[in-house]
Chains A and B, each alone.
Chain A
Amino acid sequence: MSNIGIASAASSATAGAAPPANGGPGPANGAPGPANGAPAPAIPGADGPGSAPAPDVLTLGEFHSFQAEDSTFLYLVPSAAIFRLDAPSRAVLEALETANRTPAELLGMLGSRFPAEEVANRVEELMGVRAIGLLGKPAPAPPDLLPPKGFPLTTMVLNVTSKCNLACTYCYEYGDDRIVEADSKPRYMDLETARESVDFMFEQGGTNRLVHLTFFGGETLLNFKLLKSTVAYARQRAKEVGKEVDFSLTTNATLLKPEIVDWLAEYRVGVTVSIDGPREVQDGLRVFSNGMGSYDIILPKIKDLLARHRTRPIGARVTLTSKNLDVKEIFTHLTEEIGFWEVGFAPVTSSSCRDFSISDAGYDQMLGQFEELARDFLEHACADRHHGFSNVKDTLEEIHKGVSKAYPCGAGLGLMGVATDGDVALCHRFAGSDEHKIGSVSEGVDTEVQYDYLKKHHINSKTDCHTCWARPICAGGCYHEAHTRYGTTGTPNLHFCEWVRSWTDTCLRVYGAISERNPAFLARFDA
Chain B
Amino acid sequence: MALKPINRKADRMVTYLANQGDVPPAEQMAGPVDPAAANAGADENAEDVVALGGRLPEIPEIPHIPLGCSLVFAPGWEVDEAGGTAGLCQPVERDLFDCHLACFWPAHVPDQLNHSPDWTGKCAAAQNDWRKLEMIFP
A interface residues, Cβ below 8 angstroms from B: 16-17, 19-23, 26, 55-56, 58, 73, 78-86, 88-89, 102-103, 107, 116-129, 133-134, 137, 139-145, 147, 399-407, 458-460, 463-464, 466, 472, 511-512, 515, 526
Nearest 8 pairs of A and B residues by beta carbon: A402-B9, A142-B53, A120-B29, A406-B52, A19-B86, A78-B53, A141-B55, A404-B51
Report the bound CA distance from A20 to B63 in whole Å: 9
CB atoms of B87 and A127 under 8 A apart: no
CB atoms of B24 and A127 under 8 A apart: yes
Report the bound CA distance from A458 to B52 in whole Å: 10
CB atoms of A459 and B35 under 8 A apart: no
* Residues of the B chain whose Cβ atoms lie less than 8 Å from the Cβ of A103: 28-29, 31-33
CB atoms of A78 and B50 under 8 A apart: yes
CB atoms of A406 and B54 under 8 A apart: yes
Report the bound CA distance from A424 to B35 in whole Å: 49
CB atoms of A125 and B3 under 8 A apart: yes
Select B3's contact among A89, A404, A511, beta carbons within 8 Å: A89
Report the bound CA distance from A244 to B123 in whole Å: 62
CB distance from A467 to the nearest CB of B (A): 9
A–B pairs, 5, beta carbons within 8 Å: A19-B87, A122-B3, A143-B54, A402-B8, A404-B51
CB atoms of A20 and B33 under 8 A apart: no
CB atoms of A123 and B49 under 8 A apart: no
CB atoms of B33 and A124 under 8 A apart: yes
* Residues of the A chain whose Cβ atoms lie less than 8 Å from the Cβ of B50: 16, 78-79, 142-143, 404
Report the bound CA distance from A25 to B42 in whole Å: 25
CB atoms of A86 and B53 under 8 A apart: no
Given A58-B33, A402-B9, 18 new contacts (CB under 8 A): A17-B54, A26-B92, A56-B32, A78-B51, A81-B7, A82-B9, A84-B6, A89-B2, A103-B33, A123-B33, A134-B33, A139-B42, A140-B43, A141-B55, A143-B54, A458-B54, A459-B52, A512-B6
Does B1 have its Cβ within 8 Å of any Cβ on chain A? yes
Report the bound CA distance from A142 to B32 in whole Å: 26
* Residues of the A chain whose Cβ atoms lie less than 8 Å from the Cβ of B84: 19, 463
Provide the main secondary structure of the chain B interface: loop
CB distance from B117 to the nearest CB of A (A): 26
CB atoms of B92 and A83 under 8 A apart: no
1/0 per residue B30-68: CB within 8 Å of A? 011101001100110011011111111100011010010
Report the bound CA distance from A404 to B13 in whole Å: 13
Which of B13, B42, B67: most chain A CB closer than 10 A? B13
Select B54's contact among A122, A129, A144, A464, beta carbons within 8 Å: A144
Report the bound CA distance from A404 to B9 in whole Å: 10
* Residues of the A chain whose Cβ atoms lie less than 8 Å from the Cβ of B90: 22
Does B113 have its Cβ within 8 Å of any Cβ on chain A? no
CB atoms of A128 and B23 under 8 A apart: yes
CB atoms of B17 and A142 under 8 A apart: no
CB atoms of B92 and A125 under 8 A apart: no
CB atoms of B17 and A129 under 8 A apart: yes
CB distance from B130 to the nearest CB of A (A): 12
Does B102 have its Cβ within 8 Å of any Cβ on chain A? no
CB atoms of B67 and A23 under 8 A apart: yes
Report the bound CA distance from A489 to B85 in whole Å: 17
CB atoms of A86 and B67 under 8 A apart: no
Size category of the binding interface on chain B:
35 or more
Report the bound CA distance from A21 to B64 in whole Å: 8
Report the bound CA distance from A84 to B3 in whole Å: 6
Report the bound CA distance from A127 to B36 in whole Å: 12
Select A460's contact among B6, B28, B57, beta carbons within 8 Å: B57
Known: A56-B32, A145-B47. A16 touches B55 (CB 8 A): yes
Select A402's contact among B10, B17, B67, beta carbons within 8 Å: B10
Report the bound CA distance from A80 to B29 in whole Å: 28
Known: A124-B23, A125-B3, A402-B10. A145 touches B39 (CB 8 A): no
* Residues of the B chain whose Cβ atoms lie less than 8 Å from the Cβ of A23: 64, 67
CB atoms of A124 and B32 under 8 A apart: no
Select A86's contact among B3, B26, B33, B38, beta carbons within 8 Å: B3
CB distance from B66 to the nearest CB of A (A): 9
B62's nearest neighbour on chain A, judged by CB, is A20
CB atoms of A83 and B47 under 8 A apart: no
A54's nearest neighbour on chain B, judged by CB, is B32
A459's nearest neighbour on chain B, judged by CB, is B54
Report the bound CA distance from A371 to B98 in whole Å: 39
CB distance from A295 to the nearest CB of B (A): 40
Which residues of chain B (1-25) have a CB below 8 Å from chain A? 1-10, 12-13, 17, 22-25
CB distance from B39 to the nearest CB of A (A): 6
* Residues of the A chain whose Cβ atoms lie less than 8 Å from the Cβ of B23: 124-125, 127-128
CB distance from B45 to the nearest CB of A (A): 10
* Residues of the A chain whose Cβ atoms lie less than 8 Å from the Cβ of B92: 22, 26
Report the bound CA distance from A472 to B54 in whole Å: 11
* Residues of the A chain whose Cβ atoms lie less than 8 Å from the Cβ of B43: 140
Report the bound CA distance from A22 to B35 in whole Å: 24
* Residues of the A chain whose Cβ atoms lie less than 8 Å from the Cβ of B3: 83-86, 89, 122, 125-126, 129
* Residues of the B chain whose Cβ atoms lie less than 8 Å from the Cβ of A123: 29, 33
Report the bound CA distance from A147 to B13 in whole Å: 22
CB atoms of B35 and A125 under 8 A apart: no
Select B6's contact among A56, A82, A459, beta carbons within 8 Å: A82
CB atoms of A79 and B26 under 8 A apart: no
CB atoms of A142 and B46 under 8 A apart: yes
CB atoms of A121 and B26 under 8 A apart: yes
Report the bound CA distance from A73 to B9 in whole Å: 14
Report the bound CA distance from A511 to B6 in whole Å: 9
B2's nearest neighbour on chain A, judged by CB, is A86
